[in-house]
Structure formats: structure tokens, C-alpha cells
Amino acid sequence: MMQHQTSFLRLASLWALALLAGCGAQQLTPANALPAAPMAYDAKGGAYAYTCQSETSKVDCLVFQGTKLVRTLTKGLKKPLGVAAGKDGLFYVADGSAKDIFVYSAGGAKLVSTLSDGTNAPVDVAVYNDEVVASNKTSLTFFAKGATKPTLTLKDKTAVQGSGAAFDSAGNCYWSFTTKSGASVDEFKGCKGKAVNLKIAPGTPYGIAFDGNGNLYYTSYNGSDRSIYACSGVKSCAATFTTLTFVDPQYLNFSSNFADIWVDDPGSYGCYCNGLYGIDVKTGKEVATILSDMSFFDPPTGVAAGPGPL
């Protein structure tokens, strides 16, 4: 994933910390860590939670069952970013440097397919009935079922940097991206044709996902708008899960039955909140909190629960 503006803040913080290391800076203690919520999303232990890391020292993808890390993928990965999971359990990784989308069997046990994104550097990926879309710098590429190269390339001339990709339950494609003046979300009916700008507000849309009723959810990362928003369809959007606090929410995806929504938060130095969060959509309560094997220096990029809903 080509990180948004907070990446520059993160790099500045890393530089500052390096200076402090020689000046007797105190190390924060795990007393600041967030408590782990009970695991209610997966009573039988069969589902997975996925993320990747690619910012500093680690280049890998992590596979969790419950809060337990069960697999670390490294082979062939160069800059793994956004992730997705299909309803069949397959796990998808957008790799910006490899310029490919890697498709793994459930739990990441085996690489089963590689989709070439041409000259594009994908930052996010979404799947619907074996169709795939990838968000790139200035385009959204669509892969028909069985295709290993883009079937269509969808564009918006106002796009400066692509961020999220999504399908709704009718199979339409959506793309979020930054512009010179802010952020936008486009709809492509049937994943083809001309972009329809949805004029999503408030906030600055980044990660995007749809529930089973065609309602758009998105993360916002700018200033006081750092939250998750829910819309009625693609209108009347408002902050949701308002009892929860996010530092830097990025991508989000629904679980298989749309009951839970997952978000990754790279956090900030010292908050011990760099992790993955599963949230019950009806109650707004955390049902899963995964903080292990991630840090401010190696934050999560993307999140998905497998199997996915579409």
C-alpha cells in the first residue's frame, strides 16, 4: 500500500526516535497496551484474519486464527499491501513492488495463482464471485473470472493516488482515491463504463467496503475525522462505532456473514494499538483485537477476515 499522509509523520517520528535513542529516552511499558477483547467472531476457530507488513524491516503477510499467529508468508513478496478474502476462503494480496496480486489457499497454505497487474503497482484488492479489482496509483483494474491479466482498466482523471477497492453485493466496482483537493469515491456500474463520483462526505475516504445491504462503510484519516463512517446506500454518511477510538484507521473488510467489520490501525509510537480490530456491526463492540507481531515500526497494511462475504 502506498501509505497516505500519515506515512510522512511516521517517517519523521522514526527519525526523531533515532535521535532520542542516544539521549536517554525512556522506553514505554506494556501498561499502555489495549486489553484484548474476547474472541466471539469465530466460535469454532475455523476462520482467519489476514494482514501484511512492508514499511520498514519486515516484508511479510501474517495469518491469524483467533489471536494466534499461525503462518508467516515471505516467499516472493516485495511490498505486500492491501488484502482481501473470498467467500471460498481464498486469500488475496496486492503487492505494489511485484506489480502482482497473489492468490493463496485458505490460511495462506499454498500460492494457487498470480494475477499480473501489468505496469500497475496495486495498493488494494477486492473480490466478488471470483472477479477481482485492484486499486492502483491512477486506475482501477478489473479482472474477470479466470483472468490473470486485467480485463478492463477504469480511470478518473482527477485521481492523484488510488487507495481502496471494493465490490457491492450486486457486483458493481468502487474505487477510493485522493485528489488535489481531498478524497473521492467512484462507482463503476457493472465494473465498466464511466466513473460516477459519489461525492462522499464527511471525512476523507480511504479504505472502503460494502455490507450485504449495499451500504458503504469507509475509513477517514484526516484530523478529527479519524473514524469509520457508515452510509445509507452511498448517501447520508455519518461516523459510526463512536465509542471506539482510532489513531490511524486504514483499510476495512467484512467477515463472511457481514456481522463483523475488520479495520487495521497502524497506530502511533507508544500507544500499543498497532493491530487489527474486529467490530460487531450491531453493537459497535470489539469482538477481536489482534496486536501481536505488529508495531509502530512494522505496522499492518490491510486487513481481511477469511472466508470473506462476497
| Cβ pair 93, 86 in contact under 8 A | no
Measured CA to CA, the distance from residue 218 to residue 184 in angstroms comes to 11
Measured CA to CA, the distance from residue 299 to residue 291 in angstroms comes to 10
Distance separating the N- and C-terminal Cα atoms of the chain: 22
Measured CA to CA, the distance from residue 80 to residue 233 in angstroms comes to 31
Question: Among candidates 62, 38, 18, 47, which has minimal Cα distance to 294?
Answer: 62
Question: Among candidates 143, 131, 44, 121, which has minimal Cα distance to 90?
Answer: 131
Residue with cell 542516544: 22
Measured CA to CA, the distance from residue 105 to residue 111 in angstroms comes to 6
Q: What is the per-residue pLDDT for 224? A: 74
- Cβ count within 10 A of residue 180: 7
Q: What structural domains does the chain harbor?
A: 6-20+42-306 (2.120.10.30)
Decide which of 235 and 2 is more confident.
235
- Cβ count within 10 A of residue 73: 21
Residue with cell 487507495: 163
**pLDDT tens digits, 100-109:** 999 999 999 9
Measured CA to CA, the distance from residue 263 to residue 273 in angstroms comes to 12
Question: Among candidates 254, 251, 255, 211, which has minimal Cα distance to 232?
Answer: 211
Percent of the chain with pLDDT over 70: 85
Q: Strand order in 111-116's β-sheet? A: 80-85, 91-95, 100-104, 111-116
**pLDDT tens digits, 113-123:** 999 999 999 99
Predicted confidence band at 45 (pLDDT cuts at 50, 70, 90)?
A: low
User: Quick one: CA torsion of 227, 211, 177, 121, rounded to 10 degrees?
Assistant: 120
Query: Lowest-pLDDT range, 75-89, 106-120, 286-300?
Result: 286-300
Residue 12 has pLDDT above 50, yes or no: no
> Mean pLDDT over residues 228-237, rounded?
97
Burial track 114-145 (b if 16+ CB lie within 10 A, e otherwise): ebebeebbbbbbbbbebbbbbbbeebbbbbee
**pLDDT tens digits, 186-222:** 999 999 999 999 999 999 999 999 999 999 999 998 7
Residue 28 has pLDDT above 60, yes or no: no
Measured CA to CA, the distance from residue 32 to residue 189 in angstroms comes to 46
- Cβ count within 10 A of residue 89: 17
| Cβ pair 106, 91 in contact under 8 A | yes
